[in-house]
Structures are given as C-alpha cells and as structure tokens.
C-alpha cells in the first residue's frame, strides 16, 4: 500500500510487513490504526515493546521466554516450568517453538519439562541445521542423567517428520527412551476424509 | 433454479436435489447437462441405474454392496471380503457406512471382516436407533463365536462418539474385546492448530 | 472410489463423474444413495430422466429448453419467453448458457428476448468457435429486422470478455446497437478489496 | 495465548490484539517474533512508531495522513493531493477511510480531491454519527464554492449504503451534484453467481 510517499509511513509498513503472517496491506492498516490512536496508546505500545526486551529473558534450560520475578534470587535463570519442583525432571519434551510448547501446556496433561529446539528442518541442509539448538540440546542431555524419556513433539507435517527423524538419529547414542506423539484421527476427524496413512495409524493404535 | 415452468425439468431437479450434497442449483446444472448430452449418454445412464439395482446386492453378512459373479454358486450371498478365506474371521470392524468401509480397505492394512451399521446416532433417540442394523449385528455376533475383537471404527465426530458409546454398551454382554480407532495428530496436522483433546490423546498414545 | 470391483457400481460411478462439478468420490456417494433408496425412488428417477428427453425441447428461436404444452398448436416451437407477446422483440440478450439466462430472468427487470450461445471461447480457436451457435445467431438477426439493441450479457471473466469481443466484431456488419453489462462494485463489494479495474469502472459509471 | 504468566508478554499481546484483524493467537506470534528479533530490529520498530507520530500529520482539508516536507512553507498543512494544482478542486470524493482513498488513487483515474469521513454508520445512531467528520465536511463545502460534484465513494455493503444515504440527505441543502459509484459485475464476476440486485444494476448500466 503506497501512501503519499511519506517515508515515515513507508518505513513502518515495511517493518510491520516482517511480522509473521503480515503482508503490506495489513501492515498499512496497522499504520492507519496507529495514526488515529490516542497518544497514550502509542506510548503504551512503545513502552511495552521496550519492556518486553528488558524484562523477558529466555530460560537457561529450555529457552522458554519468561519474566524473572524481582524477589527471586538464583532461580531467576529458569522459567516457571523448569523451576517448578513438581515437574518430572525425568521426562523431556522437545518442541519446535514456544507456540508448540504452549499448545502442549494448555492440555494440562504433561508433567515433565521441555526444550525448545528453535525451528524445524525440511531437508537436512547444514544451514538449516545450524539454526536449531542442537549443541544446547546435547549439553542439556549430558548434564541431566535423570532424563529417562525424550518426547519428540513435532507436528505431523513433512518438516516435523524430517526434524523428528534427525533428532532420533542424533539422540540415539544417549540411550534414552525416545517417543513420538501418537498419530490417528483428530477430534472431529471423519473417516471418509482421512488419508490412508492416518487411518492406518488409527487402526494400529486402536485400544 | 426455476426454468420456464417445465414440469419435466422441475421434477428431475427435485429428484437430483435429494442426492447427497446436491442443492437445487447443482441439480439444475445436472438437468442442463442431460438436456445437451447425446441420446446415447442418456440411454447409458438409464441402463446403468437399472442395472445397479438388478445386479448389485447387499452382502448377507456385512451389508457391503457387491455384484455376485454368475459362475459362483453358494458364495453369491457373501461379498468378496466375507467370502475371502484369507480374511481373519476373528476380527470384526463395525463401520457406519460403505464409504467408511472403503476408506479402511484402501489402507490395505486391515485383514479382518466388516459389518456396516447403516448410520450413526447423535443422541440416543429411539427413532435414530431404529435406523441402525442393531438386530442384525446382534445375530452376527451370536452366530460367530470365532469373533474375538470388535473394532468400533467410527469417525471422531460427536455423532461417531455417541454411536461408539452406544455400541460399547450394547456389545458389553457379549464379552468380546472391544477397541476403538486411535486418536492423535493426523498426517499433516500441526501442533499449533490442534485442539487440546487431540494433543492430549497424541501425548498419551506416544510411542 | 473403488468398491468390490462390481462392474455395475463402477459403471455408474463413471457416468455420474461426467456430471458437472462431480468427482469420483461424490459419484460414489450417489451410487450408495441409490443402492439404499426405495425401489419407487429409482423408478421415479429413471422415469424423470426418460421424460426429460421426450418432453423437453429447445426453443427454435433462443434454444432455451421448455416443455410444450399439449393444448397449444403452432407456438409449441417457441419457449414461453419467445412466445410471450408482452416481451419486446426489439431487444435481444445473448447469454452463454441457460443458467445465465435464468439468472437474468430472476431479476424480473429484463423485458426483451434471449439467444443462448451455448458456450464461451477463451482464445479464438476454431474448434472452440465451432461449438458456439454463431450461424444460428446470424440467421436470427437477419430474419428479425425488428431487433434494435443486442445486449452481450457475458460474465466479467476472461472467457466472457473474449466471447464478448468476438461477438462485437461478428455483429458489427449488422448495424445494431450493441451493449454490454455495466461494470462496477457488486452488492456487498468493499472498495478496499476491489481491484483497480472494477473501481475505475465504478468511478466512470457513477451517477 | 497464555505464556508463563509474564506480565510483559501478556501486556504486549493485549496491545497487539487491538490492532485491526489481529486476535490473541497472532498477537502472541508477534511477541515471539520480537523476542527472537535482533536488538537493532526492535530499536528500528520503536523509532519508526515514534517517528510516525511526530512526522506524519493529517491534511487540514481532507484528513489524509501525510509527511510535510521540511523545505515547504505554507503548503505544509495540506497533503500532496490537496496541494497539487493539477487536481480539480470542483470534484470532491468522500471516502470512509484512508484505505479507500488509496484504493481509488491507485486507479490513477480520479483527478479531483478527497475528504475522509473517518468511518461508516450502520444504523443512524447518534453515537455512530458523532464519530464521522460531519461538521468538518460541512465547513469544507461551505468554504469551497468551487465544488460542483460530490462523489459518495462508499463500499456496496449495508454500512456503506447507510452512510451514503445519510450523506445524501445531509448534503441536499448544499445544492451540489451528488453521485455514487456505479454498480455492476466486478472484474472476474460470473453471472451465474451474481445476486439479482447486481445483475439488475448491470443491466440498467449497460452501455
């Protein structure tokens, strides 16, 4: 969206266009929204963005972003999941992203800890692999002999599968139990529209 | 779609509108298609519809439609699956419809036999239940002591769940092993967009 | 959808798959629908298809399908629109299909007569052009000197545009007023999502 | 999306959720994006937001946002369209929003000036009407006797129609020519799927 050749508008449209899922049209609507917003709202937004970076840090174990509470001492380096004494330290769930971690947390069924890999790989290209926190994962597993099971909680997409396969091979030498999420019919799924692989998995996993 | 008040067109639009998934607009397009089709195509269609009813019968065991081959004798009452000596007669898979049976057959992973229930129930209304082949199912199970496991292969929809629950209760007195299709992430499913119940099932069914 | 290798089922699935918008999956559902339908419904369907071809004919002027009423004499060759003395014979609207004719009739705003071209052309290929009723159109215009305006009522698609252009050139020698449907914002259309050409037309056609 | 109860994350998710078309899930993805972004990108974003408000102002005539160039003097109060001597000052186009203004500008067919109303009304509620720049519109028209035609460039939605009707009544006493965007088939529109009102308009506007 071109607007009057204002460089200030153009620059902000460009920056919002880098946000995930946002194209220039929606970025333009963001800018018009801000132009009409009361000054207080702009000030709040700027303050919140600055705050985010100064207050939120990534957990030293799992890389989950968290905000250390000022009244805590040493635990400040670990997120609330990792520092929770009730979570099972023997169970490690590897997710691709914070969003996937949150999806699993919301079920309230998982009682172990996590590790955020920071991405997925489609093919096993070196440049892709370098973006993953593989070295960090290795050191976590070496330093935590209490880990007994590692869940590869990847999406059932081509990329998720490739990442799972890669992790499986990488983790083999550590001699831990390695599991993957079960495949089958999702809630609401109809047999008629399910693909053959999903039905095969659902048949196999019947219980 | 109203056309020139021709009763012949209106009648056929009305009949095609009773086909599954077809509304009056598409029914109208069917009729225009037939009006323009060569006479031979119409004759073929009429012959094929008449043929269907005279040649195809429902399997006496599983209700799967099949076309008895003229050179077979007694087996003519059973479909090719039921009369196949290689299929395991100890394993019975109950599906709601022929379409669901075909979906499972296409996986080529299932080696047992089937029973087509003929529908699903949403609530346990008497009128809904009467449409299911419950009495036929009962007699099949009574007459086939070799059946060891019954798979309730229902869709993961509200109706599929309700039908599964009903069957589970109904089949309890027969003391067979009763199983259901596994739940989890379908092929292509992303953790980020999966609902909590599906993720819970996938976690539980990890392997 | 493959079912038990029954040739009767396969044949009918194949024939229904030739219906507009219908693929093999939906064709299969049609067949299962017919297999379960009461005999009376099948008989009705077969009768209605046979009836359609014996009772419905195409209007000798406009090619609109209609059912001649048995108590009329000579007018039996013309559809109800063409034989209606209240319709203006000076105004001819050319549509690509019966469906488009019906869409215009439903507005109840058009008082002239029609001609159904029988298709559209994308490029001006000879084989495509031969499918159109161009010769018939020519003879209609020659035999009806009372025609003053010809409306090219084509869709605003690439094919509709190409067909309109072709007709415009073809009809030029007849020295009639030739018009096209107005372009602009459709009901419900938002400026924000309209393309530049539509907005240009809407601006130009402002009133 | 709940994340670790971090108030800094929650606050920013909340603020992004107020952006047009953005829900909490996408707002959460924005926040994760910023958490992972290099510090430079955050600084740029904060600077661009602050810049937007300090550099961009609304045109004193049409309310279109623009960035005054430092080397211009008095014209600085008018946007580039309003201060362009080649634009016809006799033609005023009223749009609901900046986005709609931009949609029309992109056609490069409109040579007049604009006025941005700042919203639409669905019903003629007093609270809705107060959000529109009606008083400003009134003063513009009074002060510019050179205005001859006013185009009500509203979307063809229920709200656009209601706003157009309201403006028409409001502007009547000023005795200007008042026009609206033409209705008809949009580019790509098919007759078969067009509603009756659109076809009626397209027929009427034929040319």
Quick: pLDDT tens for C125-177: 777 888 899 999 999 999 999 999 999 999 999 999 999 999 999 999 999 99
Q: Do C46 and B41 touch (CB under 8 A)?
A: no
pLDDT recorded at residue C144: 96
Q: Contact D152/D190 with Cβ under 8 angstroms?
A: no
Give chain A positions within 8 Å (CB) of B101: none
B107 vs A95, A160, A196: nearest CB: A196
d(CA A102, CA A82): 14
d(CA C153, CA C135): 19
pLDDT recorded at residue B5: 64
**Tens digits of per-residue pLDDT, B2-45?**
445 688 999 999 999 999 999 998 999 999 999 988 999 999 99
pLDDT recorded at residue D49: 96
Enumerate the β-bridge partners of residue B180.
B152
Give chain C positions within 8 Å (CB) of B43: none
| C73 — pLDDT class (breaks 50, 70, 90) | low
**Tens digits of per-residue pLDDT, B71-119?**
665 558 999 999 999 999 999 999 999 989 999 999 999 999 999 999 9
Q: What percent of chain D has pLDDT over 70?
A: 95
pLDDT recorded at residue B73: 56
**Mean pLDDT in residue range C95-105:** 94
pLDDT at D75 over 70: no
Q: Please report all neighbours of A, defined by 3+ CB atom pairs within 8 A.
A: B, D
pLDDT at B57 over 70: yes
d(CA C32, CA B81): 18
Phi, psi of C201 (to 5 degrees): -60, -40
Rg of chain A (C-alpha set): 22
B165-169, long-range: CB within 8 Å, 24+ apart, which pairs?
B166/B121, B166/B124, B166/B129, B167/B94, B167/B117
Q: Do B192 and A100 touch (CB under 8 A)?
A: yes
| C60 — pLDDT class (breaks 50, 70, 90) | very high
pLDDT recorded at residue B3: 45
Q: Contact B173/B203 with Cβ under 8 angstroms?
A: no
Give chain A positions within 8 Å (CB) of B206: 151, 179-182
Q: Do B186 and A189 touch (CB under 8 A)?
A: yes
Q: CA dihedral defined by A154, A160, A164, A165, rounded to 10 degrees?
A: 160
**Mean pLDDT in residue range C78-87:** 94
Strands C91-95 and B177-180, by their bridges, are: unpaired
Q: Which of B119, B122, B145 is nearest to B133 (CA)?
A: B119
d(CA A193, CA A204): 18
d(CA B12, CA B18): 10
pLDDT at D199 over 50: yes
pLDDT at C2 over 60: no
pLDDT at C75 over 60: no
**Tens digits of per-residue pLDDT, D151-196?**
999 999 999 999 999 999 999 999 999 999 999 999 999 999 999 9
**How far apart are the CA of B24 and the nearest CA of chain C, in angstroms?**
12
Q: Contact D121/D129 with Cβ under 8 angstroms?
A: yes
Give chain D positions within 8 Å (CB) of C194: 103, 186
Give chain B positions within 8 Å (CB) of A202: 181-184
Rg of chain D (C-alpha set): 21
DSSP classification of residue B172: G
| A130 — pLDDT class (breaks 50, 70, 90) | confident
| D5 — pLDDT class (breaks 50, 70, 90) | low
Strands D91-95 and D149-152, by their bridges, are: parallel
**How far apart are the CA of D10 and the nearest CA of chain A, in angstroms?**
10
d(CA C107, CA D200): 6
Q: Do C6 and B67 touch (CB under 8 A)?
A: yes
d(CA D143, CA D151): 18
Size of interface B-C (CB pairs under 8 A): 153
pLDDT recorded at residue A69: 76
pLDDT recorded at residue D125: 76
d(CA A202, CA B187): 11
**Tens digits of per-residue pLDDT, B123-165?**
777 778 888 999 999 999 999 999 999 999 999 999 999 999 9
Q: What percent of chain D has pLDDT over 90?
A: 80
Q: If you measure CA to CA, which chain B residue comes closest to C4? A: B66
pLDDT at A126 over 70: yes
Q: Which of D43, C4, D65 is nearest to A50 (CA)?
A: D43
Give chain B positions within 8 Å (CB) of A185: 155-156, 181-184, 186
Q: Contact D154/D162 with Cβ under 8 angstroms?
A: no
How far is C-alpha B196 from the chain's CA centre?
Answer: 29
Size of interface A-B (CB pairs under 8 A): 188
Q: Please report all neighbours of B, defined by 3+ CB atom pairs within 8 A.
A: A, C
pLDDT recorded at residue B132: 93
Please name the residue that has the structure tokens 């009772």.
Answer: C55
Strands C91-95 and C149-152, by their bridges, are: parallel
**Residue B112, H or E segment:** strand B112-116
**Residue A178, H or E segment:** strand A177-180
**Mean pLDDT in residue range D32-44:** 92
Strands A113-116 and A149-152, by their bridges, are: unpaired
Q: Do D79 and A106 touch (CB under 8 A)?
A: no
Q: If you measure CA to CA, which chain B residue comes closest to C29? A: B20
Give chain D positions within 8 Å (CB) of C109: 199-200, 203-204
Q: Which of D135, D130, D169 is nearest to D150 (CA)?
A: D169
**Tens digits of per-residue pLDDT, A33-51?**
999 889 999 999 999 999 9
Rg of chain B (C-alpha set): 21
d(CA C101, CA C103): 5
């Amino acid at each position: 969206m071109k607007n009057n050749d204002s460089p200030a508008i153009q620059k902000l449209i460009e920056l919002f266009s880098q946000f995930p899922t946002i194209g220039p049209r929606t970025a333009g609507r963001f800018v018009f929204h801000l132009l009409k917003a009361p000054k207080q709202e702009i000030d709040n937004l700027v303050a919140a963005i600055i705050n985010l970076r100064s207050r939120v840090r990534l957990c030293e174990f799992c890389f989950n972003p968290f905000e250390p509470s000022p009244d805590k001492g040493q635990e400040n380096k670990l997120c609330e999941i990792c520092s929770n004494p009730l979570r099972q330290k023997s169970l490690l769930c590897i997710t691709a992203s914070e969003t996937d971690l949150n999806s699993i947390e919301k079920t309230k069924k998982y009682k172990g800890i996590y590790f955020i890999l920071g991405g997925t790989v489609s093919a096993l290209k070196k440049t892709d692999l370098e973006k993953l926190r593989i070295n960090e994962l290795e050191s976590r597993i070496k330093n935590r002999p209490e880990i007994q099971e590692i869940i590869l909680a990847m999406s059932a997409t081509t990329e998720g599968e490739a990442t799972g396969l890669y992790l499986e091979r990488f983790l083999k030498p550590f001699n831990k139990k390695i599991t993957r999420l079960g495949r089958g019919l999702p809630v609401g799924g109809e047999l008629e529209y399910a693909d053959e692989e999903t039905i095969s998995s659902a048949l196999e996993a019947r219980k």
